[in-house]
Amino acid sequence: MSAGELTALSLAEAGRLVRERELSPVEMTDAHLAQIGRLEPRLNAFITVTADEARRAAKAAEDEVAAGKHRGRLHGLPIAIKDLFDLASVRMTAGSRILADNVSADDSEAAARLREAGAVMLGKLNLHEFAFGATGINPHFGPARNPWDPEHITGGSSSGSGAAVASGECLAALGTDTGGSIRIPASLCGIVGLKPTHGRVSKRGVLPLSWSLDHVGPMTRTVEDAAILLDVLAGHDPSDASSADQPVSDYLASLKEGVRGMRIGIPRRFFFENVDPEVETAVRSAITLLGEMGATTLEIDVPLIDEIPGALTAIMLPEALAVHQRWMKERPDEYGDDVRYRLELGSTYLAVHYVQAQRLREMAVRAWREEVFSQIDLIATPTTPITARRIEEASSDDGLQVTFSLIRFTNPLNFLGVPAISVPCGFTTEGLPIGLQLAARWWDEESLLRAAQAYEQATNWHNRRPAR
């Protein structure tokens, strides 16, 4: 296989070839490190590349496989993680000046589970500073650039994760999602991004943005790959107070069962308002196809949707300020302007605002459980109402509007804590990707992945690769 063919493989395909000893983990790792070397000066997806460590891990994996000690579907496969996760003896900058020289002492729980499964860690990926933004424009490390057009943003905050997976710099990546930070770059970069149910995946060793809204999840080229990663990542972590002790499914077992008999809700309001025409056309076509494949589609009302964005902000900003309070007092000038502004805004909220927002959250969860997910299995919406904007536009005075647009359809699902996924569903006439967002009831990642897989396999969008 050529290096180009190796970097175009899915995680599932590569895992099968390694297991059957038709592909060497060393060969696979070298191909991805070469791809990073070719593309990084332009895409800026990585903050730290751990090439020597990756080669050592690949050689160890190769020896284990040769000795008949195959650990599973991730063994010997090159993966990268957002630079918000601790990785032992590797710097964790969070995309900031403040932590530019910070070196992690231990692995985060997610990284430890990947290593235990035999994954090869290629390094740490670029992000919006402290994961506090939706564009991926970082004033300290530079913006991650979209592989479909490097003059455009990747979306954020898991910006490097989106760029690296889409460009073939790694087979898969981990991201975090507080208001859409996995699904937004997945949508804008034409890949799959999964936000599991809040508490499904441990956040221990991940620098928090907003502890009650943060999620950890996979970013991959296919839905099957996302299921493979979730199989490894999901499960209770007693050392993480937000980790839920809930049963974990075999996410691959029912992946190919299709959507026949599923009920998919289409929101009457909010989620299709002020949407780029090409985005709406692509998403509605995707929903039509799901119906043709045997799902029942019906229009639904979404309770409290007008109140949710403001309540989410009243939770996120004070929680973020609580994390950054000391640094904001001692080192405020070391923040980028946009992140410092958001943290300063957090100080304008009173305790009563925070409490009222959390009360509304309880009401919204109950209302969605009783009025929405009692009558449907999934909801379908655009992931983002717009596609990737040019970096200069997102950096200008219009940048705040770009951010508001990007998070509009994703952050209500963080507020609720339900699982949600973005899958590619088309391209604009400019050649920029469009994402379909599906969301399921709490803890039902199984149905979510099943529907996403059925749609993906009925289309060809996920097989497209950036020409650059």
Q: Cα(426)–Cα(249) distance, rounded to whole angstroms?
A: 30
State the Cα torsion 173-177-183-188 to the nearest 10°: -80
2 is catalytic: no
Q: Cα(326)–Cα(193) distance, rounded to whole angstroms?
A: 33
Within 8 A by CB and 6+ apart from 467, the residues are none
Within 8 A by CB and 6+ apart from 59, the residues are 25, 26
Q: Which pLDDT belongs to residue 468?
A: 60
157 is catalytic: yes
% helix, strand, coil for the chain, step of 5 = 40, 15, 40
Q: Cα(425)–Cα(312) distance, rounded to whole angstroms?
A: 28
∠ CA(259), CA(263), CA(268), 5° rounding?
Answer: 130
Within 8 A by CB and 6+ apart from 391, the residues are 137, 143, 145, 151, 152, 153
Answer yes or no: are the C-beta atoms of 378 and 447 closer than 8 Å.
yes
Rg (CA), the chain: 20
Structure tokens at 464: 């497209």
For 106, 174, 468, the CA distances from 99, given in Å and listed in that order, are 16, 20, 32
pLDDT tens readout for residues 112-163:
999 999 999 999 999 999 999 999 999 999 999 999 999 999 999 999 999 9
Active-site option among 10, 24, 82, 202:
82
Answer yes or no: are the C-beta atoms of 323 and 213 closer than 8 Å.
no
Active-site option among 181, 187, 202, 249:
181
Closest C-alpha to 193, from 171, 215, 169, 175: 175
256 is catalytic: no
Instruction: Give all domains of the chain, ordered by start, each with its CATH number.
Output: 3-463 (3.90.1300.10)
Active-site option among 24, 157, 161, 210:
157
Q: Cα(181)–Cα(201) distance, rounded to whole angstroms?
A: 16
Structure tokens at 182: 């996995």
pLDDT beneath 50: ranges in the chain: none
φ/ψ (deg, to 5) at 263: -105, 120
Which class for 62: exposed (0-12), middle (13-18), buried (19 or more C-beta within 10 A)?
A: buried
Q: Cα(135)–Cα(156) distance, rounded to whole angstroms?
A: 5
